[in-house]
Amino acid sequence: MSRYRSWFFAFALLTLFFDQATKFLVRLWLPLGKSVPILPNFFYLTHTQNPGAAFGLFPNATALLIVVALFVSAIFLWLGHQGFDKKRIAIAAGMMLGGALGNLIDRVRFGAVTDFIDIGIWPIFNIADIALTVGAFLLLCFSLTVSDRRSGSKVKSDDYKSADEIESTSQEKGLKFQGDADFTVNKT
């Protein structure tokens, strides 16, 4: 379980670096409220400051959001210290830690998060938001795997018995099949 710590911390640091670097450049070169078309009618760089959470939820709840980000970051740091049994989980968790820290730094330094990626049909967001969303999506996808890889076994079609096989086995053992998973003992 202690493997892949370096992947976790590398992705956390890379995410944090790219998030903070892009926000720095936006604050340096793009005045607040200004928008620059990159792909007209689709993609713009628009400098905004978001005092709330994602999508403008909880506006002006900076103190609460700082506490939540500190708590989430502490959990991810603890998990990273413990290590991960899969590289892909370490990477996804690292992305989430880097994103959480990136937005936390903005909230502490500026009282709001710098957002700048504007695709028109979605609220304006940043690299940290992308990392948090993609990391959470990947963790969800990884948790939905069907096979049990810890034991090395995979579900096979021959692991299942047909209803007829179950019924004949049940009758051999003195059970009488009475319908949908309702078995009673045959005392004759």
pLDDT in tens, 18-42: 999 999 999 999 999 999 999 998 9
Give me the pLDDT at residue 174, please: 64
Q: Are residues 137 and 165 in the same domain?
A: no
pTM of the model: 0.73
Q: Are 102 and 20 in contact (CB under 8 A)?
A: yes
Q: Tell me if residue 45 falls in helix, strand or coil.
A: strand
Q: Does residue 128 sit within a domain? A: yes
The answer on 134 and 71 residing in a single domain is yes
Q: Does some domain include residue 149?
A: no
Told to judge if 129 belongs to the known catalytic residues of this protein, a careful annotator would answer yes
**Domain total of the chain:** 2
Both 174 and 126 in a single domain? no
β-bridge partners, 148: 153
Distance CA 103, CA 126 (A): 9
Which residue is catalytic, options 115, 118, 148, 180?
115
In a domain, 155, yes or no: no
Is residue 182 exposed (0-12), middle (13-18) or buried (19+ Cβ within 10 Å)? exposed
Q: Which residues contact 84 (CB under 8 A, 6 or more apart)?
A: 1, 3, 4, 5, 7, 8, 90, 93
**Distance (Å, rounded) from C-alpha 102 to C-alpha 91?**
16
Q: Are residues 103 and 61 in the same domain?
A: yes
Coil vs helix vs strand at 146: coil
Exactly one of 19, 106, 118, 129 is catalytic; name it.
129
16 token code pair: 């944090």
Please give the residue range of the domain that contains residue 188: 161-188
Q: What is the pLDDT along the chain (188 residues), one digit of tens a residue?
A: 468 999 999 999 999 999 999 999 999 999 999 999 999 989 999 999 998 887 677 888 888 999 999 999 999 999 888 888 899 999 999 999 999 999 999 999 999 999 999 998 889 999 999 999 999 999 999 888 744 455 555 545 455 555 566 666 656 666 554 555 444 445 55
Using left for φ > 0, alpha for ψ between -120 and 50, and beta otherwise, residue 86 falls in beta
**Residue among 127, 145, 156, 137 at smallest CA distance from 85:** 145
Q: Are residues 132 and 91 in the same domain?
A: yes
The CA distance from 26 to 132, in Å, is 20
What lies within 8 Å, CB to CB, of 175 at 6+ separation is 183, 184, 185, 186
Instruction: Show Cβ contacts of residue 96 under 8 Å, excluding neighbours closer than 6 positions.
Output: 72, 76, 131, 132, 135, 136, 139
